[in-house]
Amino acid sequence: MNKARIKILLVDDQPATNGFETAALMRHHPRARELPIIFLSAANADADLLIEQAHALGAVDFMTRPFNPAVLRYRVSVFIDLYRKGAEIALHREATHQAALRERDKRIRLILDRDALEACGQPVDMIFTPEDRAKPVSVEALERTFRAVAGGRK
């Protein structure tokens, strides 16, 4: 996970590029696409329309000015924390997926290598998970399939 401490507040009523244009540009940039955005606006009359536009661009929050700085700091900290937790979950999910792939590859190697089966003394049915065993398949059929996948290797 990137250790950069990024906090972005966009203001919708700037003279050059406004916050909405900046948010649209961010959503097209790979490293900024998932960053949480909080919009600040002085406009109270059209707040509902502005809130709708902000959320359509991926904003996580919208505040009108004047605002309480303590509330803004709290909201920023909450969304940064949520962003970091999401990144941690994604890393954990990937690590779990990689571990499952390694385990699957280990079982395939055991099936392909009869010597390994004999050396470890495990019956073939002990290699498979309960999900694998739910479907009746002969050992010979599995070996043929895995040999074909492995390029004819024994």
Per-residue pLDDT tens for 89-121?
A: 999 999 999 998 888 888 777 666 665 556 566
Which token pair is 67? 């605002």
33 found inside a domain: yes
What is the DSSP-derived secondary structure letter of residue 7? -
Query: How many domains is the chain partitioned into structurally?
Result: 2
pLDDT, position 30: 84
Q: What is the CATH number of the domain that holds 19?
A: 3.40.50.2300
CA 116, 122, 124, 128 torsion: positive or negative?
negative
Contacts of 64 (CB under 8 A, 6+ apart): 40, 41, 42, 43, 44, 47
pLDDT, position 16: 61
Residue 21's pLDDT band, with cuts at 50, 70 and 90, is: confident
CA–CA distance, 4 with 87 (Å, rounded to integer): 13
pLDDT, position 71: 92
Residue 1's pLDDT band, with cuts at 50, 70 and 90, is: very low
CA 93, 98, 101, 102 torsion: positive or negative?
negative
**Whether 59 and 13 share a structural domain:** yes
Alpha helices in 13-153 (DSSP H): 19-26, 47-56, 69-112, 114-120, 130-133, 139-149
**Whether 12 and 62 share a structural domain:** yes
